[in-house]
Amino acid sequence: MKKQITFDRVTLGYDRKPILQDITFSVSKGDYLCIIGENGSGKSTLMKTLLGLIPELDGDITFSDGVKRTDIGYLPQQTPVQKDFPASVYEIVLSGFQNKCGLRPFYTKKEKENAIQNIIKMGISDLKDKCFRELSGGQQQRVLLARALCATDKILLLDEPVAGLDFNAMKDMYELIESLNKSGTTIIMISHDLSEVEKYASHILHIGKSVFFGTKREYLEHSEKKGGLI
């Protein structure tokens, strides 16, 4: 397995104030890494650091195997969209291709077709011309996932993708993510849902007071020794 992302003793935080120290882990192609930890333990901060939205305070983050930092598509924890934003589903999904445009002002025909493909893949083709802000939370998540797929099909970073979804929507979302993983996309997912994590993850990174990284099996053995999940 070729490593795509390596964190080597990385310290992360805001404004030079560290929140987490000495984080070491790596992700290889096809992995399904789940990041778990309590509220406020720094999961979203880790994600922002990985994406390059905030700088790491110490240590090295390396990208290899033909992967660049900008090859990561992501689904934010909270959609930062203002209440009144006028945008159709299609416009939003298409905007995922912006990173491939460079200075080119318009999207190509191929990109437009791919956007439609991704909309179909997410099962939201009937919503294509709907206004984003008038969709339900679960529908919005799918739209943003379709956008992320336009930006890349190598690595997807998902920050609590099922928060606020009902049981069925949640199940659908997990299955969708699993099918993407099966087709070769590396998944990095932040989650609180331990039973689902046990079901789907190949690797687990636990952050907080104690930091653990390993395969799912290692994690289960480790937590058994400690008596229950850490």
Partner 1 sequence: MDKLIMYMQYPFVRYALIVGVLIALCSSLLGVTLVLKRFSFIGDGLSHVAFGAMAVAAVTGLSNKMLLTLPVTIISAILLLKNNENSKVKGDAAVAMISVGALAFGYLVMNVFSTSSNVSGDVCTTLFGSTSILTLAETDVYLCVILSIAVVVLFIFFYNKIFALTFDENFAKATGVKTEKYNFVVATVIAVIIVLAMNLVGSLLISALIIFPALSAMKMFKSFKAVTICSAIISVLAALTGIIVSILMGTPVGSTIVAVDVVAFAICHGIGMVKR
Of 7-15, 77-85, 137-145, 203-211: span binding Mg ion (CB under 5 A): 77-85
Instruction: Identify residues 12-71 at the interface with partner 1 (CB under 8 A).
Output: 51-53, 68-70
Q: In this complex, which beta carbon is closest to partner 1, that of residue 151 or of residue 197?
A: 151
User: What whole-number distance in Å separates Cα of residue 130 and Cα of residue 35?
Assistant: 33
Does residue 77 belong to the site contacting Mg ion (CB under 5 A)? Answer: yes
Contacts of 39 (CB under 8 A, 6+ apart): none
Number of residues that bind Mg ion (CB under 5 A): 3
Q: In this complex, which beta carbon is closest to Mg ion, that of residue 56 or of residue 153?
A: 56
Q: In this complex, which beta carbon is closest to ligand ATP, that of residue 19 or of residue 116?
A: 19
What x-and-dash track marks residues 67-106 binding ligand ATP by CB under 6 A? Answer: ----------x-----------------------------
Does residue 44 belong to the site contacting ligand ATP (CB under 6 A)? Answer: yes
What x-and-dash track marks residues 32-71 binding Mg ion by CB under 5 A? Answer: -----------xx---------------------------
Minimum CB separation of residue 56 from partner 1 in Å reads 15
